[in-house]
Amino acid sequence: MRIAMIGTGYVGLVSGVCFSEFGFDVACVDIDASKIERLNAGEVPIYEPGLDGLIERNLSAGRLSFTTDFDTAVARADVVFVAVGTPSRRGDGEADLTYVYAAARQIAKAMRPGTVVVIKSTVVVGTCRKVAEIIREERPGVDFSVASNPEFLREGSAIEDFMRPDRVVVGAEDERAEAALRRLYRPLYLRETPILVTSLENAELTKYAANAFLAVKITFINEIANLCEKVGGDVQKVASGIGLDNRIGSKFLHAGPGFGGSCFPKDTTALAATGLKHGAPQRLVETTIAVNEERKRQMAERVLAALGPETAGKRVGILGIAFKPNTDDVRDAPSLVIVPALQAAGVTVVAHDPEARGQAEPLLPGLEWRANPYDVADEVDVLAVITEWNTYRGLDLAEIARRMRGHAVVDMRNIWQGSDVVAAGLDYQGIGKTPLSVG
Ligand code: UDX
């Protein structure tokens, strides 16, 4: 089976490369010629553990190729995946489907009869049928199938998530589409991965419902954390206590500075907009969006409070700028709200991140970067952890204390034991627990 993967963003690139690892012939297509050139030279445009090795192996095996030649890739393919971006549309927050529809038109013109067109981009309910209409309009009478196959991989563990998913969701309403997707995911049958085949609408909705549910779960534990702080509780203990209930589950119960990234903010906004449009408001999701936005600002206020009443001229060190560890992605990262809020209060902000500097530098003017996490502590009044990179967990807290001029730590990811930080001579404020002070 030959695959054309339209779009080499996160989802398209990882899925295309993983399908080639399964042994299929994959052509990944993008309009960005310099990106394609770099990919063909084995250079990976995103930081994703393990991806470079897979690209190299499958490129040299001749199963994987990168091209700007859309029409040839589509004309040779049995299955064409659409994995182009669906950003938030300005104004109403619905997903902007311009790129999906443009791809559909071009696919229609270039494809062979019998092609299966699979929408992998996250698209609002009804989009797959619209894509089918567009293709019929462009190529009246031609035989083809449309399917939906949302992707649930996470950045930072994308390869593992693609290769070992909890489930595969397929929206397919004819035998050809179902058979093609079952065949592509056959390597996962060995692991007994459930493959749910359902309608186009159900598949489209499943993706949004899954992401929104997880966003609600995170926001829920963040609000419980606020309550813990007021009444002397410890959110990590409460999260463990509820997470052991199988109906709840222990994952996505880490309280923190609010969710970010390329999916949750965009997908919750799109789902809320879709709900309003169809007269079925998603009030839990609407509230989640508002609470999460406010949470990022509250995090900045927390750091400002730790600086004391006079903030102008003070210095804050930040560990971690990416929206989560193991990625260089800063899209909708809490740091993008927290850093400017501190700067607006006259604070000089110094930061370290193992991977995100390149992405973040243009978005955070005035932020001073350090190549080493210890250097971030030099002469700062407050040290704040925003992203839980593993390498921060084992830092020598006494060394940090020696370098700081102040003595407050705000740990927004609970990566350190409060008692260890206090033993090093610093005040400690985690999330959802009682602050500890030295004196
Ligand atoms: C998410 C979904 O998990 C994935 O299924 C979908 O395909 C794309 O969106 P991703 O954006 O890569 O993946 O990140 P994820 O690991 O889910 O984290 C999202 C955000 O939630 C991050 O900002 C993270 O820090 C935050 N988070 C996650 C928490 O604050 N607490 C948690 O317990 C889990």
Q: Residue 94 pLDDT more than 90?
A: no
Nearest-atom index, ligand 1, CA of 157: 12
**Cα–Cα distance for residue pair 438/166, rounded to 1 Å:** 45
Q: Structure tokens of 89?
A: 């549309």
In the prediction, which pLDDT does 89 show? 84
Cα–Cα distances in angstroms (integers) from residue 367 to residues 25, 122, 258, 342, 380, in the given order = 44, 33, 21, 10, 14
Q: Which residues surround ligand 1 with Cβ inside 6 Å?
A: 151-155, 211, 214, 218, 252-254, 256, 259-264, 323-324
Q: Which neighbouring-strand residues pair with 117?
A: 80, 146
The class level of CATH for 2-198 reads: alpha beta
Give, using CA atoms, the residue closest to atom 21 of ligand 1: 259
Query: 355 near 328, Cβ under 8 Å?
Result: yes
Query: 433 near 236, Cβ under 8 Å?
Result: yes
Residue 241: CB atoms within 10 Å: 11
**Cα–Cα distance for residue pair 30/213, rounded to 1 Å:** 32
List the one residue out of 66, 69, 78 whose CA is nearest residue 16: 66
Q: Residue 231 pLDDT more than 90?
A: yes
Residues noted as catalytic: 263
In the prediction, which pLDDT does 189 show? 83
Superfamily of domain 202-439: NAD(P)-binding Rossmann-like Domain (3.40.50.720)
Percentage of the chain lying above the pLDDT 70 cut? 100
Mean pLDDT computed over 53-80: 97
For the chain, where do the domains classified as CATH 3.40.50.720 start and end?
A: 2-198, 202-439
Percentage of the chain lying above the pLDDT 90 cut? 96
pLDDT tens-place string over residues 406-438: 999 999 999 999 999 999 999 999 999 999 999
Q: For residue 439, name the pLDDT band (cuts at 50, 70, 90).
A: confident
In the prediction, which pLDDT does 169 show? 98
In the prediction, which pLDDT does 95 show? 84
Give, using CA atoms, the residue closest to atom 25 of ligand 1: 324
The CA-to-CA distance between both ends of the chain, in Å, stands at 68
**Cα–Cα distance for residue pair 276/348, rounded to 1 Å:** 42
In the prediction, which pLDDT does 164 show? 95
Mean pLDDT computed over 242-256: 98
In the prediction, which pLDDT does 42 show? 87
Query: 25 near 3, Cβ under 8 Å?
Result: yes
Cα–Cα distances in angstroms (integers) from residue 155 to residues 54, 84, 260, 320, 328, in the given order = 16, 16, 12, 16, 9
Mean model confidence pLDDT for the chain: 97
The complex scores an ipTM of 0.95
E strand or H helix that includes residue 66: strand 64-67
Residue 186: CB atoms within 10 Å: 12
Binding residue positions = 30, 35, 86, 122, 152-155, 207, 252-256, 260, 266, 324, 331
